[in-house]
Amino acid sequence: MKTTRSIVLSIAATGLVGFAACGTTFPPQDLVNARTAFARANSGPTPKTDPADLHSAKEQLDLAEASYAKDGDTQYTRDQSYLAVRKTELAEVVGRTRQTDKEKNGVVNAMHADEKQAVASTSAELGRTRTQLANQNVAYVAQGTALKDEKSRRQDAEKRAAQASADLAKFATVKQDPRGMVITLSGSILFESAKWDLLPSAQLKLNDVANALIKEDPLSKMVVEGYTDSQGGVSYNQDLSQHRAQAVRDYLVTRGIAGDRITAQGFGLTHSIADNKSPEGRANNRRVEIVVQATDPSLSLR
Amino acid sequence: MYKSLFSLVILVPLLGACGASVPPPTQRLADAQSATRSARELGANSEPAAQLSLKLADEQISQAQKAINDGDNKRAESLLVRAKADAELAVAQSRERGAKIAGQVAVDNSAAQENTNYNQGAEK
């Protein structure tokens, strides 16, 4: 029984082999697959991305085709076809891998370029900031110097003013009022009665006044104001006070006070500071006031 | 007895034609196994397409080993040729996966870098 089956099997096998050798009109499925796969790969990106492996696949397909043409649907034909399918797929995969690598490199390169750009712009920014800081520093130093200059200028001015008022205090009253520093000189030490020529002794006193004023803030303006008592007419006194103020002003100019800094004005019998009924009061009202207008209120004398 | 002798007469030439004269394809077996090892090392089992190719290769290798044991060396050779091609495809597919991951990492890094640059004051 067993041998009978063997015979039947072997005959059937021989028949099958013979049938295959004669060649059917249908190519084996493996070969069909190989043709389809290659056609697909060949029309896609693979000829560009992996031409070498695709060429190997083509050679493999040619082997399969040749085997089929010569021997028909043999195991060899099928094996070669199978290899052609796999080689084709391999070419496609390798091609895609290369493409992916290329894109990755593009991204990486772009990233590096960005990074470089960022570093460059950051360092440029840093450079600008440094320059700004340096400039600011220079400005601060300059400002500091200016502040120092200003401070010492103030200190000088205060010192000069203090000295000036100390000098003046010896023979005149010096006081501070809303007009500025006011130096009041008694009329009797400057002029003879009803005259406006300076007495020789008055000139000595005025020399001290001039020296003190020269030590004053050189930018301040001065007004010499003349006043009389109430004896005599208004216009007479006005005239007298004007001349006396002018005389003092002119003398101070000859002692070195710049002419454009100092003016004279007479006020006559107005603005009395004492009672005109008593001789002492009238004597106090006869006076010349030198008003030093401070350029900066904070620099005014005490 | 006669009958079995008869069948032997028929079968022996057939066997000869099929592979009795073919030596065991040990070199091909080694090549195919080496290729599957490479594919596994490259992470073929993490990529579905590569995993399938590797599985086909493994299956054909074990079929080939069985065929060798059965003395059908010709069939074994055929299976091993296919197995090697499958394993090589699996290798290429694993590499493709690696390239895709590297590409994604690059894109992510690039985005992160761009963000970092922006936070540090660069223009977008």
The pLDDT score that the predictor gives to residue A163 is 74
Whether A89 has its CB under 8 Å from any CB of chain B: the answer is: yes
The pLDDT score that the predictor gives to residue B85 is 95
Alpha helix stretches (DSSP H) within chain A = 2-22, 29-43, 46-49, 51-71, 75-168, 187-190, 200-215, 234-254, 279-285
With contacts defined as CB-CB under 8 Å, which chain B residues touch A4? 3
Q: Is the pLDDT of residue A244 over 50?
A: yes
- Give the DSSP H or E segment for A302: none
Nearest-CB residue to A10 (from B11, B92, B95): B11
Interface of A with B in 16-75 (CB under 8 A): 75
- Quickly state the pLDDT bin for B122 (edges 50, 70, 90): low
What's the Cα-to-Cα distance from A44 to each of A41, A85, A97, A182, A244, rounded to whole Å? 5, 15, 14, 108, 118
Q: What pLDDT, in 10s, does the model give residues A38-48?
A: 999 999 999 99
The pLDDT score that the predictor gives to residue B90 is 96
Nearest CA of chain B to the CA of A118: how many Å? 6
Q: Is the pLDDT of residue A9 over 70?
A: no
**Test mutation, A86, A108, A123, chain B, max B CBs within 10 A:** A86
Q: Do B14 and A13 touch (CB under 8 A)?
A: yes
Q: What pLDDT, in 10s, does the model give residues A153-210?
A: 888 878 877 777 676 776 778 888 888 888 888 877 788 777 888 888 788 888 888 8
| B11 falls within a domain | no
| B64 falls within a domain | yes
The pLDDT score that the predictor gives to residue A283 is 81
| B117 falls within a domain | no
Q: What pLDDT, in 10s, does the model give residues A129-150?
A: 999 999 999 999 999 999 999 9
Torsion region of A293: left, alpha or beta (phi above 0 gives left; psi -120 to 50 gives alpha): beta
**Residue closest to B78 by CA, chosen among B62, B64, B57:** B64
Q: Which residue has the higher pLDDT, A235 or A62?
A: A62
| B65 falls within a domain | yes
**Chain A residue nearest residue B86, CA to CA:** A86
Nearest CA of chain B to the CA of A154: how many Å? 48
The pLDDT score that the predictor gives to residue A208 is 80
Dist CA B84 CA B81 (whole Å): 5
3-class DSSP state of A260: helix
What's the Cα-to-Cα distance from A168 to each of A184, A213, A290, rounded to whole Å? 10, 9, 11
Nearest CA of chain A to the CA of B123: how many Å? 8
Q: Do A82 and B85 touch (CB under 8 A)?
A: yes
Nearest-CB residue to B81 (from A14, A83, A121): A83
The pLDDT score that the predictor gives to residue A23 is 47
**Residue closest to A60 by CA, chosen among A89, A84, A42:** A84
With contacts defined as CB-CB under 8 Å, which chain A residues touch B93? 93
Cβ–Cβ under 8 Å, residues A282 and A231: yes
**Residue closest to A157 by CA, chosen among A13, A16, A297:** A297
What rounded mean pLDDT belongs to chain A? 84
Q: Do B117 and A115 touch (CB under 8 A)?
A: yes
Q: Which residue has the higher pLDDT, A2 or A236?
A: A236
Q: Do B122 and A117 touch (CB under 8 A)?
A: yes
Q: Do A86 and B96 touch (CB under 8 A)?
A: no
| B7 falls within a domain | no
Q: Do A79 and B120 touch (CB under 8 A)?
A: no
The pLDDT score that the predictor gives to residue B55 is 96
| B72 falls within a domain | yes
CATH of A169-299 given 3.40.50.1820, 3.40.470.10, 3.30.1330.60, 3.40.50.620: 3.30.1330.60
Q: Is the pLDDT of residue A112 over 90?
A: no
Q: Domain limits at B68?
A: 24-95
Q: Do A107 and B103 touch (CB under 8 A)?
A: yes
What ipTM did this prediction achieve?
0.75
Nearest CA of chain A to the CA of B46: how many Å? 16
**Chain B residue nearest residue A95, CA to CA:** B96
Q: What pLDDT, in 10s, does the model give residues B2-34?
A: 555 555 444 444 444 444 578 999 999 999 999
Q: What pLDDT, in 10s, does the model give residues B56-99?
A: 999 999 999 999 999 999 999 999 999 999 999 999 999 999 88
Whether A120 has its CB under 8 Å from any CB of chain B: the answer is: no
| B122 falls within a domain | no
Q: Do A114 and B114 touch (CB under 8 A)?
A: yes
The structural domains of chain A, with segments of one domain joined by +, span 1-155, 169-299
- The 3-state secondary structure of chain B reads CHHHHHHHHHHHHHHHHHHHCCCCCHHHHHHHHHHHHHHHHCCHHHCHHHHHHHHHHHHHHHHHHHHHHHCCHHHHHHHHHHHHHHHHHHHHHHHHHHHHHHHHHHHHHHHHHHHHHHHCCCCC
The pLDDT score that the predictor gives to residue A302 is 40
Nearest-CB residue to B113 (from A10, A96, A115): A115
Nearest-CB residue to A10 (from B7, B89, B92): B7
- Counting the structural domains of chain B, the total is 1
Q: Do B88 and A125 touch (CB under 8 A)?
A: no
The pLDDT score that the predictor gives to residue A39 is 97
Q: Is the pLDDT of residue A5 over 60?
A: no
Q: In b/e form, how buried is each residue of A60-95, taking b as 16+ CB within 10 angstroms? A: bbebbbebbeeebbbbbbbbbbbbbbbbbbbbbbbb
Cα angle for residues A175, A177, A182 (degrees, 5° grid): 45
Cα angle for residues A132, A137, A140 (degrees, 5° grid): 125
Cβ–Cβ under 8 Å, residues A93 and A48: no
The pLDDT score that the predictor gives to residue A300 is 45
As a whole number of Å, the end-to-end CA separation of chain B is: 92
| B28 falls within a domain | yes
Query: In angstroms, how far apart are the furthest CA atoms of chain B?
Result: 98
Q: Is the pLDDT of residue B103 over 50?
A: yes
- Quickly state the pLDDT bin for A15 (edges 50, 70, 90): very low
Q: Do B107 and A107 touch (CB under 8 A)?
A: yes
- Top-confidence range, A24-33, A69-78, A181-190, A266-275: A69-78
